[in-house]
Amino acid sequence: MKAKERQRKILEIVRQQDRATVEELSSLLGISYETVRRDLTDLAKTGKVQKIHGGATLPRMFGEGPFQQRMAENAEAKARIAQAAAPLFAKGDTIFIDTGSTTLYFAECLSEISGLTIITNSTAIARVTSIAESKNRIFLLGGEFSSNNHQTVGTMVAAQARSFQAHHAVLTIGALDSKAGAMVFSIEEAQVAIAMIEQSQSLTIIVDSSKFDKIASFKVCSLEEIDRLVCEKKPNGDLGKALATANVRITVA
């Protein structure tokens, strides 16, 4: 198993359990203690884990509340989606990325690509992308800070987003429905997402299948506004038909 694949698996385990010991990781992955320690050191350098005596835990930037819980939910699916989405972007692209656990997974994979301009309202995404070895330019949108989700929100953020022009907006959402389109549960997050879409040439939604055929409080966009959908399971039924009618390109991780 190559180092990057080992480290992705280690990261998934830590996120699913909040913490893991060297002994546990060695047993689960069939690798030596020395290899585990070396991989944990590499992951800690980029802020993805925090080393503790005998193992690792999630870094403090994830906090202890809802966001940390979301990082652990469907972790394997989110990691697969992130790995499938990152190669869709290339050097020279300017990309909006909004706040979310799936978009944080995506940002980690995206940080392996150099020459990007990344605009985000997520302090966690800004941190992960800025400390990576790749040479990318990072802009953090300012506004009211929400510590629960490690993001800036509100009209100030939306106004700043409108001062940029981007090739792509990459967003995660709370719900996707055949009639209502893409939705989130926060009006402040919806305002930011809508501004990012308005200032972008294309829209990519990255979301796991648990959000399919669900309704959330605030609409972000119609299905017709989505250019690409990256998910771990192909939508079927009415949602699948509606996406096909809207000519949304679907990538299944």
Identify which has the larger pLDDT, 247 or 134: 247
pLDDT tens digits, 175-188? 999 999 999 999 99
Q: Any bridge partners for residue 171, and if so which?
A: 205
Which pLDDT score, from 0 to 100, does residue 63 have? 43
Share of the chain residues as helix, strand and coil, in percent rounded to the nearest 5: 45, 25, 30
Domain boundaries, the chain: 3-58, 67-252
Q: Strand 175-177 relative to strand 94-97: parallel, antiparallel, unpaired? A: unpaired
Which pLDDT score, from 0 to 100, does residue 71 have? 61
pLDDT tens digits, 67-85? 556 665 777 889 899 999 9
Identify which has the larger pLDDT, 119 or 74: 119
pLDDT tens digits, 11-37? 888 887 878 999 999 999 999 999 999
pTM of the model: 0.79
What does the chain come to in residues? 253
Angle at which helices 33-45 and 3-17 cross, to 10°? 80
Which pLDDT score, from 0 to 100, does residue 64 have? 42
Pick the CATH number of 67-252 from 3.40.50.1360, 3.30.540.10, 3.40.1410.10, 1.10.10.10: 3.40.50.1360
Beta strand spans in 22-158 (E): 50-52, 55-57, 94-97, 117-120, 137-140, 144-146, 151-153
98: confidence class by pLDDT, cuts 50, 70, 90:
very high
Pick the CATH number of 3-58 from 1.50.10.20, 1.10.287.3510, 1.10.3720.10, 1.10.10.10: 1.10.10.10
Evaluate if residue 87 carries a pLDDT over 60. yes
